């Protein structure tokens, strides 16, 4: 789905809404991601599974689920982890940083995008971790 916005200088900008059934549906009035000007901006992903159930086994398992969700949202935008240029991570307990970081490193490998990690009081649905990212879009197309 596309939408257009007219700016004050009458220049038109287009953005594309990204939606995939492989990741959980948004739990509010927002999109899973938006592609604009060649970049994909994901909404923060928590450890909801595609069926809407929450992964509750701890920060390690939640981080795996969050990154799985990001994988599918990025793929729907023609991107993959090597296209990510910035991530923001929200943790409800900074004591979980090392555990989360090991899982994160497993998926990103030697690719090291810019990153911020922030401690927050709470996250939706009682999540322990939430991750959002910015990546180059439409670089990888699966014709399968």
What is the reported pLDDT for 73?
A: 97
The enclosing domain of 51 has a CATH number of: 3.30.1330.40
Using the predicted structure, report yes or no on whether residue 141 has a pLDDT greater than 70: no
Total number of domains constituting the chain = 1
**Using CA atoms, how far apart are residues 63 and 58, in angstroms rounded to an integer?**
9
Give first-to-last CA distance, the chain, whole Å.
22
Does residue 38 sit within a domain?
Answer: yes
pLDDT digits (tens, 9 = 90+) for 36-50: 999 999 999 999 999
Helix (H) / strand (E) element for 73: namely helix 59-76
What is the reported pLDDT for 138?
A: 83
| Conformation bin of residue 10: beta by default, left when phi > 0, alpha when psi is -120 to 50 | left
Q: What are phi and psi of 11, to 5 degrees?
A: -85, 135
Residue pair 14/35 in contact (Cβ under 8 Å)? The answer is no
Question: In a 10 Å sphere around its CB, with 0-12 CB exposed, 13-18 middle and 19+ buried, how is residue 129 labelled?
Answer: buried
pLDDT digits (tens, 9 = 90+) for 74-116: 999 999 999 999 999 999 999 999 999 999 999 999 999 999 9
pLDDT digits (tens, 9 = 90+) for 9-64: 445 568 899 999 999 998 889 999 999 999 999 999 999 999 999 999 999 999 99
Does residue 141 sit within a domain?
Answer: no
Q: What is the DSSP letter of 28?
A: S
Residue range(s) defining the domain that contains residue 51: 2-136
What is the reported pLDDT for 136?
A: 95
Does residue 107 sit within a domain?
Answer: yes
What is the reported pLDDT for 76?
A: 95
Does residue 11 sit within a domain?
Answer: yes
Does residue 142 sit within a domain?
Answer: no
Does residue 144 sit within a domain?
Answer: no
Does residue 143 sit within a domain?
Answer: no
Q: Which one, of 28, 80, 19, lies nearest residue 50 by Cα?
A: 19
pTM of the prediction? Answer: 0.87
């Amino acid at each position: 789905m596309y939408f257009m916005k007219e700016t004050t200088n009458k220049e038109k900008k287009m953005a594309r809404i990204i939606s995939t059934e492989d990741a959980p549906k948004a739990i509010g009035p927002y999109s899973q991601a938006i592609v604009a000007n060649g970049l994909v901006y994901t909404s923060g992903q928590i450890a909801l599974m595609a069926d809407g159930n929450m992964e509750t086994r701890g920060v390690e398992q939640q981080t795996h689920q969050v990154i799985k969700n990001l994988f599918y949202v990025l793929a729907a935008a023609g991107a993959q982890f090597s296209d990510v240029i910035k991530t923001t991570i929200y943790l409800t307990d900074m004591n979980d940083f090392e555990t989360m970081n090991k899982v994160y490193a497993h998926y990103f490998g030697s690719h090291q995008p810019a990153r911020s990690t922030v401690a927050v009081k709470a996250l939706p649905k009682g999540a322990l971790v939430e991750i959002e990212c910015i990546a180059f879009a439409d670089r990888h197309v699966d014709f399968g």
